[in-house]
Structure 1
Amino acid sequence: MRGVQVFAGMLGRPAQEALVDDLRAVVRAAPLFSPMTPYGKPMSVRMTSAGRYGWLSDRRGYRYSETHPSGRPWPPIPDSVLAVWRAVASEAAAPQCCLVNFYGEGARMGMHQDRDEGDFGQPVVSVSLGDSALFRIGNLTRGGKTESVWLESGDVVVIGGEARLVYHGIDRVKPNSSTLLPEGGRINLTLRVVDP
């Protein structure tokens, strides 16, 4: 789809459960928080990160930081997550950030580009866990026709090459479409290379 690679069903249920277990340890070390856009509007997702860098949004803007809002360093990216990166982006540099977004009921992510990184030659790898989400892919500029696909738990997406800067977003999440997370919701991991 528009140069974006979708690996449907790449991760089976045992692999998904192992990822969720590892992410619980990440969240214990770096609790989920509710980011604010630079315009003062709260985002509908809650997030945290693992790796050398984490991604933040607040009144000062969008940026990477070496520390959680608590001031503590981010925990390391779990090996189970790095294994997914190596499986689909083996020629890329090692990721320095794993952004963890949690989508509860009604959460969405507006159309955006991932452009806070220093080298757009490196891909962004996305892992879907939990409830299904309607993923929309646009163009290199705002507007125009878009395409959409439902991402299921265990799907992996690679945004790279000529598609690296396409606009993309999550229009909605289908509640109770997965039994992976006991209380429902969707976890999305995005792995990025931050420094060139």
Structure 2
Amino acid sequence: MVDKTENDFRYLTDIIEGDVYIGGAESHIFRHIAIIAKQLQEQYPNVRYHLSSGNAEDITSLLDKGLLDFALIVHPRQLPHYHYQKLPSQDIWGVILPTTDPLAKKDSIALEDIQHLPLILSRQAVTKTQSDNQLLNWLGDLNQLNIVSTFNLSYNALFMVEESLGYLIGFDQLTYNPNLTFRPLEPLLTSDHYLVWKKDKVFSAAAQLFLDKLQG
């Protein structure tokens, strides 16, 4: 924290340079962050970006401690002490499964298709602390499900799917493994994403530049 604060003030000059700290879960929505960073790099080549991956609980904890400038999350309504900016795309919820699985022949997956099958779920998704947890509402009574594994980030969990341990419920575009495929949930379930920051946050020049570009 001390190092980050020193760096923030070190670059408070007319020449904008320095560090921007951004955290979030694994999602293709991060591409929007990358596009903004690339646009800024052409004019401000000395601005650097530091990315942290984690679930919403981990990332907001870092945000609260001042170790991040921004966090990419799904549920801003649970964070009244934050400002937030909605990003211009959505994630689609679905099932990631082997391409050879019989369910891969379906266009979409209903709850009755997987209710008694082994499931691999995000720990955040099955936490009842969020009043607007869409996936939890879709799943219904967790005691009626066969949950064989949970995860906080999907990369390692995908190996479980590849070895046929279970069916992973998560966002689209999480895997480029040719042995796995994605089928959306039925009825369709989507999540908006937001970039959030603390209301009392004093930004470095680099972080303020990033925010201005995001909101511009």
Name the TM tier (shorter chain).
under 0.3
TM-score normalised by length of structure 1: 0.25
Larger Rg, first or second structure (1 or 2): 2
Higher relative contact order (CA 8 A, sep 6+): 2
TM-score normalised by length of structure 2: 0.23
